[in-house]
Amino acid sequence: MVKILVVDDSVMDQKIAAGLLQRDTGWEVEFAADGRIAWQRVQDQNKQLPDVIVTDLQMPEMNGLDLVREVQREFPLVPVILMTAQGSETIAVEALQQGASSYVPKSKLASMLTATVQQVLSLAGERRSKRALLRYMNCMDCEFVLSNDTAMLTSLVSYLQGILRDMDVLSENDRLRTGVALEEALLNAAYHGNLEVSSELREIDHMQFYDLARQRAHSAPYMDRRIFIKVKIDAGGLQYVVRDEGPGFDPRTLPDPTDPANIERPCGRGLLLMRTFMDEVTYNDRGNEVTMLKRCARTTMA
């Protein structure tokens, strides 16, 4: 049976939401008077997790935004739907940005609440099924060819982070750190490789660095260059290979990023993070391809 947790400090609004959700559905509805009580209920290991949380935003003790944050952090597969009232628009936008799945204006509950919950339940079910299936995937081996669009590069990092999480590869902290390392490698390939914008320029003039990068992103030959990414993920860990089409460089010419005198310099920052967060970081002779390896604890990756 579908379990829905309705969170609202108004008993009247609780009853209205429950009546709408239980009508013709057979769903089971529980209640919490504020976000703190709801969070305690979600954490109760003696009870089944709710399939959906429907929450008001403005409440004492813990508001809806804080509840969204906590649920997303600990139980990302439990969707949260907001019930918004006049005056809560700003906090609603922030809650959506923090991970809430959808929202329904309180003035439209009768016409929208049940349909919205049904939609979110369907999508959440597909997400859970995908995650369960990916736990049985032994290996992922694929390649991507991307432009120098930083938004697309960031999207790739986010996508691969989801794959690692669903395959249950690496600890949460290692997944985060390898994501940072990959993003640094991709940005280096775009800015320093394909667009040939020097990190020394960023030390001198931060704005000029990005202005030049934007100009070259729309100018030949820079705009035609691509970034090639090879990804291998298995139970032993992961391997990322990132190659750009720039002229390359000699990695030995970089200042030592582990030297405390260089820690605050932009030049070499990405390399420091990559070397710190990954087990192995190696460049090809030309300097336009980096291979990064991260092993799971007590395993060896071929």
Q: Are residues 165 and 284 in the same domain?
A: yes
Q: Are residues 145 and 288 in the same domain?
A: yes
Residue 115: CATH number of its domain = 3.40.50.2300
Does residue 172 fall inside a structural domain?
yes
Would you state the structure tokens that stand for residue 229, as one six-digit string? 């990414």
Residue 151: CATH number of its domain = 3.30.565.10
Distance, CA of 274 to CA of 183 (rounded, Å)? 9
Q: Are residues 68 and 192 in the same domain?
A: no
Distance, CA of 286 to CA of 188 (rounded, Å)? 15
Does residue 128 fall inside a structural domain?
yes
Q: Are residues 25 and 92 in the same domain?
A: yes
- Type of residue found at 42: V
Would you state the structure tokens that stand for residue 127, as one six-digit string? 């997400």
Does residue 194 fall inside a structural domain?
yes
Does residue 302 fall inside a structural domain?
no
Does residue 192 fall inside a structural domain?
yes
Last residue of a domain, one of 103, 134, 165: 134
Q: Are residues 249 and 187 in the same domain?
A: yes
Q: Are residues 84 and 170 in the same domain?
A: no
Check if the beta carbon of residue 66 is closer than 8 Å to that of residue 80: no
Q: Are residues 76 and 114 in the same domain?
A: yes
| Residue-level pLDDT at 301 | 44
Q: Are residues 145 and 290 in the same domain?
A: yes
- Single out the residue of 302, 154, 153 nearest to residue 232, CA to CA: 302
Please give the residue range of the domain that contains residue 237.
Answer: 139-295
Distance, CA of 204 to CA of 211 (rounded, Å)? 13
| Residue-level pLDDT at 134 | 79
Let me know if 288 is exposed, middle or buried by CB neighbors in 10 A (0-12, 13-18, 19+).
buried
N residues, the chain: 302
How many structural domains compose the chain?
2
Q: Are residues 35 and 81 in the same domain?
A: yes
Q: Are residues 146 and 228 in the same domain?
A: yes
| Residue-level pLDDT at 302 | 41
Distance, CA of 110 to CA of 113 (rounded, Å)? 6
Q: Are residues 198 and 100 in the same domain?
A: no
| Residue-level pLDDT at 227 | 98
pLDDT along the chain (302 residues), means of 10: 93 93 89 95 90 92 92 89 80 85 89 90 80 83 96 92 87 88 94 90 79 94 97 94 93 64 57 87 93 77 42
Dihedral of CA atoms 252, 253, 259, 264 in degrees, nearest 10, equals -130
Last residue of a domain, one of 113, 134, 155: 134
Does residue 300 fall inside a structural domain?
no
Does residue 301 fall inside a structural domain?
no
Does residue 206 fall inside a structural domain?
yes
Would you state the structure tokens that stand for residue 111, as one six-digit string? 């016409």
Q: Are residues 125 and 229 in the same domain?
A: no
Last residue of a domain, one of 92, 108, 134: 134
